[in-house]
Amino acid sequence: MPTRYIRRPEPKNDHYGASPLPVDRPAAIYYRQSTDAQIGNINTTLQTVDMFEHLVRQGWSPDAILMIDMDAGVSGSKKISERPGMSHLVDLIESGQISLVAAQDVDRFFRDVTQIQVNIFIDACKRNRVCVLTPRMLYDFNHPTMGAYHMKIFRDEAQHAADFLEYHIKGRLHASRAHLHEQGKWAGRQIIVGYMVDLRPKLPDGTPNPLHRSYVPFRPAADVIRTYFELFKRFNRNLIKTYNHIEQYGPFFPDNMNELVPEGFKIDQRTRYRSRHSGRVIPSLTGFGKMLTNVVYVGHWVHREAIIRFYNHEAIVDEDLFMYAFNALSPNDFYGEPNPHYHPHRTYNRHARADRTEAPPVYGGLVFSDDLPDYPHRRLHIHWNSHNQVYQYSLRNLHRELRFSAKASRIDKTIDDLLLERLKATTVDETAWQTAIASTRKNGHAELRRVESDIRSAERAKAAILENLKMLQHPDMVRSLEASYAANQREIERLRSELAVLQQGDATQTLLEDVRPVLDSIIAHWGHVPATKRRALFEALADYANVTALDEVRRELTVRWRDGSQTSLIFRWGDYRQHWTQAELERLREMVEAARPQVEIMRAFPHWNWSSIAFHYAYHFTTDRRFTNHYRGEKKYPYRWSWSDTTEYQLEQAALNPLSTHTSPP
C-alpha cells in the first residue's frame, strides 16, 4: 500500500524565538569609557565603528542611527542622573524616539552594585517597548514568554560587571598598585610636573635598573620650578606678587616638553594654563600655591595623602628653600598637625573697627562697575585704607589686581547728591512719585512670591526625602539621602534669610509712602538725615549705582532708578586739591610757561585756589620747588583766592543774571 502524504501545516507562532529587529524606527549606540586614558583604544573602535557597521548590516540606514558618546571618561558605577549620555539616552527612550539601543556589552551601560539604576533602565525600556542589543544577545523585555528571562540575564550581566569592578579591579589590581606605591614606585597615576618616570627595566649594559618606575628630575621643567621657589623667597613670601611677576616675566615651561623626554622615560604634561601677557605655559595661581607646598619636590613620596617614604627620590628643591615656602603657606605640618613654624605673609595688619576715624560707607553692596570686560556688573569691594585713614571702594579683577579705587566719602556724597535731586524732582511731579512707588511695590512683591514659592518646593522635597528614608535599608543610599536632606535644610534656611531681607525691603517701601507728607522737611534738612534712612530711601527708589573710570582721576557715577531712568554725575576719586589728571597738569604747564595772566589760569582751574595751583606746578615741573622763580605772568590776587573770589567772576555772574546784585569780595 503506497505511503499517504498530507499538506504541510502552517507554522504556529514561536513564542520562544527571538523578536524581529525594529528597523522601522531609529536606533541608538551608547558609548562609554571609564577614564580619559582609555578613550581612543581598541575598545573605542569596537563600541563605535564596529557597532555602527553591525547595525547597518542588520537593516538600519546610517541616518537612523544615533551615536550617544557624552559619557567618554565617565564611570559606569555612577547614577543615570550623573551621566549626561545615559540621561540623554533615557530621555530618548521615554519620549519614544528610538526602538533599540546597542552597546558593545552590558557593562557599558551599568556597573551598579545596588542594581537600582539597572532596574530603572529596564523599566523604561519595557514600558516604551525598546530592545537592547549587544553582539551576543538581543534583550527584549516585552517578549511574551522570554521577557522575564531577558530581564534576569541583563541584571546578571550587570551584576557580573559590578562584581568584576569591585573584586578584581578594586580588590586585586588596586591592591597591586597600592603595593607599588608603598615601595615608592610609580604605578600609573599622574606624574608631578618637573619629574619623569624611568620605565627602563634594564640599563644599557644589561644590568637591572635600580630606578625602574622611580621619579627622576626632568631638567627642562625642574629648573623652572626651582626658580619659582627662589622668586617666592625674593618676594618675601608674597604669593600674589610672585605669581604676577612669573606671569609677566617667567620663567615659563617649554611648549614642547613631550619632545624633550629621553627614550625610556615618561612625563605627564597636564600644565596647560598660559600667561595673559606672553601666552607661554605656566601653572595657574591655585596650582602655583599647591606646587610650593608639594613635598614631592623635596624628595618625599606621598600615597593617599600621607608621606610614606622620606627621601624616596632625587629632590628638585633644596630642603631649606622648600621649608621656607612650606612654612609660609601651610598651616599644617607633614603629619596634618598644626605647623609651629607657620609664618604667612601679611600685607597689612587688621585694625579694630572701633579705632577707625570714619563711619562705614552708606551704600556698600549697592555700587557696581562694568569696567572689567570679562566680569561685567562686578560689585565694588569696601576696605579700610589704614595709611590715609579712610574707607575706599575698589574694583579688582579675578587675580585681585586693582583696576581703580575711590574714596567712599566721595562716592557716598555723589549718590546723596543724585538722590536729593531725585527726591526734589519726584515730590514736585506727582506722576513721577507714583511711578517710583509702583515700581518698588511691583519688584518687591515679585521677589517675595518667588522666594516663598522656592521655600514651599524645598519643604516638599524635604518631606519626600524623609519618606524615602523610611523605606531604604542600603547604607550607601541612606547616607546619600541624609546628605541630600542636610543640603535641602541649608537651602531652606538660606531662602528664609532672603525672605526676611525682602520683607524688610517691603517695610522700607511702606516707610517711603509714610514719609511723603514730611519729605519737604527732609529735603530742607538733608544734611541731618541718618545714613540708614538715606540708604533706605535709595533702595526704595533705585536698583543700584554704577561707577566708570574716565581717566586716572575722574569717575562717572550713574544711578539706575527703578522706573527705568538713570542720572549721572562726574566726580574725582579723592580731594580736588590733591588729585589732578595728567591732561590738567600738562595744560597748567603750558599756561604757566606761556606766562598767561593769573586770572586766566584761575578761570581754567576753578576748583583750586592759587596756592594749590602754584604748588602743583612747582611739585611736578621744577627742581627747586619754588613757583615764583618760574612764573612771569600778571598776578593780582592773593594765594588763598580761587576763581569764584575774583572780580572777573563776579562780573561774569552779573552779566548772566542782571537782576541780581553782586559785591566784590573783600
Q: Kind and range of the H or E element at 608?
A: none
Pairwise CA distance, residues 322 & 310, whole Å: 14
Q: Which residue has the higher pLDDT, 410 or 350?
A: 410
Q: What is the pLDDT of residue 294?
A: 93
* Residue 217, strand partner residues: 195
- Would the CATH topology of 27-169 be identical to that of 195-329? no
Please report, for the chain, the start and end positions of each structural domain, with discontinuous segments joined by +.
27-169, 195-329, 365-574, 582-656
Residue 522 contacts residue 515 (beta carbons within 8 Å): yes
Residue 113 contacts residue 34 (beta carbons within 8 Å): no
Write down the number of H helices and E strands in the chain.
19, 18
Pick from 254, 256, 268, 259: nearest CA to 186: 268
Pairwise CA distance, residues 395 & 557, whole Å: 14
Pairwise CA distance, residues 389 & 356, whole Å: 7
99-113, 326-340, 344-358: range with highest mean pLDDT: 326-340
pLDDT score of 595 more than 80: yes
3-state DSSP call for residue 624?
coil
pLDDT digits (tens, 9 = 90+) for 476-496: 666 666 767 777 777 777 777
52-56, 350-354, 662-666: range with highest mean pLDDT: 52-56
pLDDT digits (tens, 9 = 90+) for 272-301: 788 888 889 999 998 899 999 999 999 998
185-194, 295-304, 565-574: range with highest mean pLDDT: 295-304
- CATH of span 27-169: 3.40.50.1390
CA atoms within 13 A on the CB side of 449: 6
pLDDT score of 325 more than 90: yes
For residue 513, give Cα distances in angstroms to 298, 530, 564. Answer: 69, 18, 20
| 72-75 LR contacts (CB < 8 Å, sep 24+) | 72/31, 72/32, 72/33, 72/36, 72/39, 73/33, 73/34, 73/35, 73/36, 73/38, 73/39, 74/32, 74/33, 74/34, 75/34, 75/111
Q: What's the whole-number mean pLDDT along residues 588-605?
A: 90
In this structure, the strands spanning 554-561 and 566-572 are antiparallel
Q: What's the whole-number mean pLDDT along residues 589-606?
A: 90
Residue 612 contacts residue 579 (beta carbons within 8 Å): no
Pairwise CA distance, residues 574 & 569, whole Å: 15
pLDDT score of 572 more than 80: no
For the chain, what percent of residues have pLDDT higher than 90?
A: 18
Q: What's the whole-number mean pLDDT along residues 243-266?
A: 90
Amino acid at 52: F
Q: What is the pLDDT of residue 470?
A: 64
* Residues sharing a CB contact under 8 Å with residue 275, sequence separation 6 or more, in sequence order: 246, 247, 248, 250, 252, 281, 282
pLDDT score of 229 more than 90: yes
Q: What are phi and psi of 572, to 5 degrees?
A: -105, 145
Pick from 642, 631, 570: nearest CA to 605: 642
Pairwise CA distance, residues 447 & 449, whole Å: 5
Q: What is the per-residue burial (b if ≥16 Cβ within 10 Å, else e) of 222-249? A: bebbbebbbbbeebebbbebbbbebbee
CA atoms within 13 A on the CB side of 410: 22
- CATH of span 195-329: 3.90.1750.20
